[in-house]
Amino acid sequence: MAGMKTATGDYIDSSWELRVFVGEEDPEAESVTLRVTGESHIGGVLLKIVEEINRKQDWSDHAIWWEQKRRWLLQTHWTLDKYGILADARLFFGPQHRPVILRLPNRRALRLHASFSKPLFQTVAAICRLLSIRHPEELSLLRAPEKKEKKKKEKGLEEEVFDLTKVVLAGGVAPTLFRGMPAHFSDSEQTEACYRMLSRPQPPPDPLLLQRLPRPSSLSDKTQLHGRWLDSSRCLMQQGISAGDTLWLRFKYYSFFDLDPKADPVRLTQLYEQARWDLLLEEIDCTEEEMMVFAALQYHINKLSQSGEVGELPSADQGLDDLDAALSNLEVKLEGSAPTDVLDSLTTIPELKDYLRIFRPRKLTLKGYRQHWVVFKETTLSYYKSQDEAPGDPIQQLNLKGCEVVPDVNVSGQKFCIKLLVPSPEGMSEIYLRCQDEQQYAHWMAGCRLASKGRTMADSSYASEVQAILAFLSLQRAGGGGSGNQPQGSDASAEGLNPYGLVAPRFQRKFKAKQLTPRILEAHQNVAQLSLTEALLRFIQAWQSLPDFGISYVLVRFKGSRRDEILGIANNRLIRIDLAVGDVVKTWRFSNMRQWNVNWDIQQVAIEFDEHINVAFSCVSASCRIVHEYIGGYIFLSTRERARGEELDEDLFLQLTGGHEAF
C-alpha cells in the first residue's frame, strides 16, 4: 500500500510524490500532491485528486493533461508505469471541453464548448451536430490569421458573438425538430436568433469594410490560407489551441455529398456564404459577366431573405413525400423506354460530330482559328480537314482522359471557347475549340468534362451536365425586353441595391456604381422568379462551374527542381502549376494513383501513378501533413454511398489522413 512509514517517518515502500496542478495550464494554479506508486492506475489517481480538492462539483468532464508529452491520460485502467510517468511530470487536472470562438463561413462569430481531448475529426463532427450541419467530414478548422497591430484603434460597433456554451445535446440521439428548427435551438430567444443567423443568408457587407479585408494578389498568396488547417488526427490541445481562442470553421473538401435543401438549411446557407466570400475576396477568379450574375443572385437572395421568405422546411409527411417521389420515378423509368431502346443504348457508343474552329498555340506563330471536322467518341477527340476525310487518318487524335478543361466564354460577345490542356510526355499540350452557339458549346463542354474524368457520353450524368451548362449560360445572357409584366423581374428602381457590396473590389475600381447598377438589375431579370432555396442552389452551382473551383494551393518544390512551384489539389486530381505565369504544367488524376507515401523525416511526399510515373516533392508553404490529409480525405470522400446514410468510417478516415504521430 502506498505511503508505508517507519517509526521515524521514513517511507519504506516504493511510493513517491506526484504533484498535479488543478485547472488549465497556469504555472500559478493551485496544486495537490499525491502519494503514488508506479502501479497506481489513472482512475485511482483521479479519485485521489478529487478527494484532495474536497470541493463539490461535477468532475465527470475532467481529465489529466501531461504537458511535456502533449497528451491526455484518458486510459483510466493504465498504470503510471505504463504511461511512463515519473515524479518530474507536469500534470494538469482540467476540463476536456473548453470554450472557443468559432468564425463561421458567413463571417459571424459563435462561442461554444469544444472537445480539447478528442481527435479534431470527432470535435468537428460534434460541432456540426450542434449546428445541425450534415456530413461534417467535408469541414474542418483553421487557425485564425494573426492580427496586425494598428497604431490607431478604429472605433466601431462591438461585434455580436452568439453564445451556445449552455446548449447540451443528448449523446447518440438525433436532434428532433420543434417549431421548424432543431429542438435545442428553441430553448430561448438567444438560441432562436442564433439558428436564424445560421440558416438565413447574411446581408451584403459594407463596401468600405470589403476593401480593407486582406485579399490574395497572386497564387503565392492563396497558398497562405491552406497552411493554417489543423491536423484532423490530433486534438486541439496537442496543436497549441487554448481556451477562448478563435478558430475558423470552413468547408475544406469541395465534394458536397447529398445536398438536400429540406434536410440541410444550415449547410446550404453556410455553403452559399463560403462561395460568396470566396468571390468577394477574390479567392477564386471569375469573368466580368460571371460577376454580374453572382451579384444579381446575391441581390435577389438578400431581397427574399429580408422579406421573410424561407426555404421549404421538413414536413411531418416528408417520408410519404419521398416515397411518392420514388414511386413516380420508378413509374417513369418503367414506362419511359422500350426494351429495344435500352438495348440500343447499351450497344451504341454516343459520339459528337461537327465543324468546330480549332486553334493550337505555338511559339513564333500568328495563325488563328481554322475550321475542322471534329469527331468526339468515348474519351478521344479527332479532327480532320473536312468531313469527307473523316474515314481516313485524322490530322491529330487526342485522348482527353486526365486533361484540364477550362471554359473561355463571353455570352454577350458570342464567344464560346473550350480550352483543353492535354497531358503529353513534354508536359501539357494546349488546344482551343471554338463553338458556334450555346447548344453546341454545352454538348461539347459536357463531353470534354466527362472525358477528362475517364467517362464517356454514355454516362448517365451527361444530360444533366449539358443542362447545367446551359442554365449557367442563360444567367449570363442579358435580360430580355423592358416589359413591365413582372415587377420583380423588371425592378427598374435600385432601391436597397448598393452594387459595391455585391462585387469583388477589382470591379469596384473598374466601374462606377451607376455603371454597375443597371447591369446587375439586367442580370437580375433572369433570376427574379427563383425562390430563396432555388437561388441559393443556383449560386452554388454557378460557383462550382468556375474553372478554379475547389482547388487548394500549396507552395512546393518538386524533386530535381531548383525553383518553387504551385501544387493545386482538387477533389479528383493534382495539378502542377508554374508559379511565375500561373500556367498548368501537368495534371495527375487520383484514379490513376497507385500509392502515396510521406517521408516524415525529410518532409517529402512521394506518389506513384500508373505507367510507372513517380512524383516527389517537399512542401514550402505548409506541412506535408496538409497535402497528405487532402489526398487521403478526397479518397475517403469518394467511398461514400447513399445507402450508408450519414454513417462514417472514422477509422478509415484516420488511416488515410493521419501521420505517424496519429498512431
Looking up residue 615, the CATH number of its domain turns out to be 2.30.29.30
Q: Is 434 a domain residue? A: yes
Q: Return the C-alpha cell found at 232.
A: 484532423
Burial class of residue 189 in the structure, from the number of CB atoms within 10 Å of its CB (0-12 exposed, 13-18 middle, 19+ buried): exposed
Q: Is 537 a domain residue? A: no
Q: Compute the mean pLDDT over every residue in the chain, rounded to the nearest whole number.
A: 85
Residue 343 has pLDDT above 70, yes or no: no
Burial class of residue 406 in the structure, from the number of CB atoms within 10 Å of its CB (0-12 exposed, 13-18 middle, 19+ buried): middle
Task: Judge contact between 74 and 81, C-beta under 8 A.
Answer: no
Average pLDDT over residues 546-572: 93
Last residue of a domain, one of 395, 423, 457: 457
Q: Is 104 a domain residue? A: no
Q: Is 634 a domain residue? A: yes
In which band, very low, low, confident or very high, does the pLDDT at 334 lie, cut at 50, 70 and 90?
very low
The continuous run of DSSP H or E covering 345 comes out as helix 339-347
Q: Is 76 a domain residue? A: yes
In which band, very low, low, confident or very high, does the pLDDT at 313 lie, cut at 50, 70 and 90?
very low
Q: Is 339 a domain residue? A: no
Report the distance separating Cα 172 and Cα 318, nearest Å: 23
Tens-place pLDDT, residues 148-207: 655 455 555 578 899 999 887 766 566 777 777 888 888 889 999 999 999 999 999 998
Average pLDDT over residues 299-321: 67
Residue 318 has pLDDT above 80, yes or no: no
C-beta neighbour count of 74 within 10 angstroms: 13
In which band, very low, low, confident or very high, does the pLDDT at 137 lie, cut at 50, 70 and 90?
very high
Q: Which domain holds residue 602?
A: 552-658
Task: Judge contact between 348 and 331, C-beta under 8 A.
Answer: no
Task: Judge contact between 287 and 293, C-beta under 8 A.
Answer: no
Tens-place pLDDT, residues 205-221: 998 888 899 899 888 99
pLDDT value for 164: 92
We report the CATH number of the domain holding residue 77 as 3.10.20.90
In which band, very low, low, confident or very high, does the pLDDT at 643 lie, cut at 50, 70 and 90?
low
Greater model confidence, 330 or 512: 512
Greater model confidence, 1 or 76: 76
pLDDT value for 251: 97
Last residue of a domain, one of 435, 457, 479: 457
Tens-place pLDDT, residues 172-183: 566 777 777 888
131-140, 244-253, 332-341, 600-609: range with lowest mean pLDDT: 332-341
Q: Is 275 a domain residue? A: no
C-beta neighbour count of 187 within 10 angstroms: 12
Contacts of 534 (CB under 8 A, 6+ apart): none
Residue 641 has pLDDT above 90, yes or no: no
Q: Is 470 a domain residue? A: no
The closest of 477, 580, 581 to 519, measured between CA atoms, is: 477
Tens-place pLDDT, residues 521-544: 999 998 999 999 999 999 999 999
Residue 122 has pLDDT above 70, yes or no: yes
The closest of 606, 621, 624 to 661, measured between CA atoms, is: 624
Q: Return the C-alpha cell found at 190.
A: 438567444
Domain count, the chain: 3
Last residue of a domain, one of 457, 472, 501: 457
Tens-place pLDDT, residues 12-71: 567 899 999 998 776 677 889 999 999 999 999 999 999 999 888 899 999 999 999 999
Residue 487 has pLDDT above 90, yes or no: no
In which band, very low, low, confident or very high, does the pLDDT at 94 lie, cut at 50, 70 and 90?
very high
